[in-house]
């Protein structure tokens, strides 16, 4: 492979990523939160814009330049994973002028090794490695034979990648958000593996070799409708479950540019509360308007946008010091988190409050390591309160949902009292261990400029739904509110081991499109059902605190209180979204 072929390969990857954005989003919606295509397009669109300015001093410099752009722009788990893959591939190539088949095979393997290391995953976990590793091996096998035709090489790679991607249909997901509905996702291919196969097939054609037909891999799997067999026929007739998936029209929203909606919202938040928060456009973080007290512990959190007021709405006195907000439903980049850590650092160390999602965990981990290298002491607490998904604990654990607000408030109150970092961290972990959440969706959320992630029939609901619109425990038919609350309450009480005489903080949280009338109705049912077990709702929140864009639905979160937690909850707080005691 010549220099020209290397550039051509990266150009093809860029073009495919931009072209397949909507297709890969739809594919991801079948197993996750429907943003895989958008995430890749966000990074590769910048590669396209800055194409002429990329460093071409050597293969290593060129691929490192691409890696830096992807890591800076994409966010989520895709950003750091693709960044390390391009960077490791470039380091393997070094300054070589002739990229022959043996060298290219080593470059592919180095990229795969980097992804496995950063993502702590491997073949069989239902990730892009299930296509990339077989492709690298096929190329390595070819390198041992007397052949040096790039077209032939990419033809072999394309077939191996296609076979690997097809094989993910039968795998249980062990990484990413697909984990939380792993058994329901059987039959659906992994979007990352499909992307590898599509790119490899396109490269084979580009280099003049016949490529396998991978079009069937890009057809999302179809889930059967909820209910009994008789009801399924009626549901399928109106929801389209029985036939192939249909493209949905974008949901009507107040937008200018869908890709800029999260940023415009953050700018608006800062303008609405200039005495509380500042939007740092250069670093893409939100921080307190008043700097933290010297020697105090700083608190930062972050995650994808679309959950407002989480996270930026909770920056202020008694809660967070700064946040790193990512694009819609995608974690912030490592660079953003590091910038937020620096902004929160006042000499007492910084606590990272991280929701348990692959991209959040990965980027916060890398940022903490970088901050440590700068002399900033960082402690981390992982929020994993969602009890909705059965069996997820054997992989990456429970999702982080409503209890995140409790951790922000209670650890923030303790930090503002001057407690040291280890004490604040210990309290935050205690809050997580004493909290449990469960969510139910009536409708799907719709990312800006797109249609619904889930296709729910008129009588269907998603039980145990995640805050990104991803699938939950099961699809069911709508029932009276009291019955749904009883299911949630039973799971929460059981998970926390609550009994007569216990006191709890209860939150009934709207997902974005549920009227307050219905949220108070739900709280009434929850309150009475807990009272029937002699469990006292000592404190409560009812409203929109951890939303999922425009989803209709609600989540229920309980925290088992003790005297210290009650006192810290009552401590003054002043943020754009939560205020009392002032």
Determine if residue 243 is left, alpha or beta; phi over 0 gives left, psi from -120 to 50 gives alpha, anything else beta.
beta
pLDDT digits (tens, 9 = 90+) for 90-105: 999 999 988 888 899 9
Euclidean distance between the first and final Cα of the chain, in Å?
A: 67
Strand 322-328, strand 378-383: pairing: unpaired
Which residues make Cβ contacts (< 8 Å) with residue 459, sequence separation at least 6? Answer: 227, 231, 235, 477, 478
Q: For residues 399 and 357, what is the distance between their CA atoms, to the nearest angstrom?
A: 6
List where CATH 3.40.50.10440 sits in the chain: 252-582
Average pLDDT over residues 501-525: 98
Q: Do you know the residue count of the chain?
A: 582
Residue 239 has pLDDT above 60, yes or no: no
Residue 19 has pLDDT above 60, yes or no: yes
Average pLDDT over residues 459-484: 90
Residue in 209, 408, 468, 527 annotated catalytic: 468
DSSP string across 205-218:
HHTT------GGGG
pLDDT computed for residue 223 by the predictor: 56
Q: For residues 546 and 308, what is the distance between their CA atoms, to the nearest angstrom?
A: 6
Residue in 209, 307, 311, 527 annotated catalytic: 307
**H-only helix segments in 358-420:** 358-373, 403-416
List where CATH 1.25.40.340 sits in the chain: 3-219
pTM of the predicted model, to two decimals? 0.86
Whether 307 is catalytic? yes
pLDDT range class, residue 34, cuts 50, 70, 90: confident
Average pLDDT over residues 196-205: 93
| Contact predicate 475/223, CB 8 Å | yes
| Contact predicate 63/87, CB 8 Å | yes
| Of the candidates 231, 104, 126, 256, the residue with the CA atom closest to the CA atom of residue 180 | 126
pLDDT computed for residue 244 by the predictor: 41
* 3-state secondary structure at position 242: coil
Residue 412 has pLDDT above 90, yes or no: yes
Q: Residue 95 is encoded by which pair of tokens?
A: 């300054």
Mean predicted lDDT score pLDDT of the chain: 89
Residue 237 has pLDDT above 60, yes or no: no
pLDDT computed for residue 547 by the predictor: 96
User: C-alpha angle 220/226/227, rounded to 5°?
Assistant: 155
pLDDT range class, residue 397, cuts 50, 70, 90: confident
Q: Residue 110 is encoded by which pair of tokens?
A: 């180095």
Backbone angles phi, psi at 477, to 5 degrees: -100, 150
| Contact predicate 20/37, CB 8 Å | yes
In this structure, CATH architecture of domain 252-582: 3-Layer(aba) Sandwich (3.40)
Q: Percentage of the chain surpassing pLDDT 70? A: 91
pLDDT digits (tens, 9 = 90+) for 168-180: 998 877 776 666 6
pLDDT computed for residue 245 by the predictor: 46
pLDDT range class, residue 221, cuts 50, 70, 90: low
pLDDT computed for residue 243 by the predictor: 38
Handedness of CA 415, 298, 398, 507 (dihedral sign): positive
pLDDT range class, residue 542, cuts 50, 70, 90: very high
- Which CATH fold topology does 3-219 show? 1.25.40
pLDDT computed for residue 473 by the predictor: 83
């Amino acid at each position: 492979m010549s220099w020209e072929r290397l550039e051509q390969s990266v150009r093809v990857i860029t073009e495919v990523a931009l072209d397949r954005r909507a297709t890969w989003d739809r594919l991801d919606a079948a197993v996750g939160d429907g943003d895989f295509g958008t995430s890749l397009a966000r990074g590769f669109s910048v590669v396209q814009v800055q194409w002429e300015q990329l460093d071409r001093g050597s293969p290593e410099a060129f691929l490192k330049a691409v890696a830096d752009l992807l890591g800076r722009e994409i966010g989520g788990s895709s950003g750091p994973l693709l960044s390390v893959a391009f960077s490791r591939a470039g380091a393997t190539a070094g300054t070589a002028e002739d990229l022959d088949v043996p060298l290219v095979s080593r470059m592919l393997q180095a990229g795969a090794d980097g992804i496995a290391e950063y993502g702590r995953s491997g073949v069989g976990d239902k990730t892009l490695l299930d296509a990339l590793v077989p492709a690298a091996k096929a190329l390595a096998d070819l390198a041992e034979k007397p052949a040096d035709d790039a077209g032939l090489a990419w033809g072999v790679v394309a077939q191996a990648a296609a076979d690997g991607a097809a094989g993910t249909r039968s795998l249980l997901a062990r990484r990413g958000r697909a984990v939380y509905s792993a058994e329901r996702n059987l039959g659906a291919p992994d979007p990352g593996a499909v992307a590898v196969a599509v790119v490899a097939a396109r490269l084979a054609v580009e280099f003049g070799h016949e490529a396998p037909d991978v079009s069937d891999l890009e057809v999302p799997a179809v889930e059967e409708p909820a209910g009994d067999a008789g009801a399924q026929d009626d549901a399928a007739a109106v929801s389209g479950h029985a036939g192939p998936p249909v493209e949905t029209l974008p949901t009507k929203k107040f937008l200018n540019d869908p890709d800029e909606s999260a940023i415009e919202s953050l700018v608006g938040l800062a303008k609405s509360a200039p005495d509380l928060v500042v939007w740092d456009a250069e670093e893409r973080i939100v921080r307190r308007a008043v700097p933290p007290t010297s020697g105090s512990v700083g608190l930062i959190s972050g995650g994808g946008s679309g959950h407002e007021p989480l996270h930026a709405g909770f920056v202020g006195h008694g809660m967070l010091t700064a946040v790193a907000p990512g694009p819609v439903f995608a974690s912030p980049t490592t660079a953003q988190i590091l910038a937020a850590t620096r902004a929160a650092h006042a000499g007492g160390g910084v606590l990272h409050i991280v929701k348990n999602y692959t991209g959040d965990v990965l980027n916060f981990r890398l940022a903490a390591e970088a901050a440590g290298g700068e002399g900033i002491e960082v402690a981390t607490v992982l929020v994993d309160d969602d009890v909705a998904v059965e069996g997820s604990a054997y992989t990456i654990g429970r999702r982080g949902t409503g209890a995140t607000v409790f951790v922000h408030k209670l650890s923030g109150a303790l930090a503002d009292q001057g407690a040291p970092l280890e004490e604040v961290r210990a309290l935050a972990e205690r809050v997580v261990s004493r909290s449990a959440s469960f969510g139910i969706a009536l409708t799907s959320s719709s990312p800006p400029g797109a249609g619904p992630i889930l296709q729910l029939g008129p009588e269907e609901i998603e039980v145990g739904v995640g805050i990104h619109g991803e699938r939950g425990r099961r699809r069911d038919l709508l029932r009276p509110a009291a019955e749904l609350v009883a299911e949630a309450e039973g799971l929460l009480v059981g998970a926390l081991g609550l009994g007569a005489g216990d006191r709890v903080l209860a939150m009934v949280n709207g997902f974005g499109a549920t009227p307050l009338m219905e949220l108070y109705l739900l709280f009434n049912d929850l309150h009475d059902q807990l009272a029937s077990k002699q469990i006292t709702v000592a404190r409560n929140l009812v409203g929109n605190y951890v939303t999922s864009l425009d989803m209709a639905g609600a989540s229920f979160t309980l925290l088992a209180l003790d005297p210290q937690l009650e006192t810290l909850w009552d401590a003054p707080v002043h943020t754009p979204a939560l205020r009392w005691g002032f």
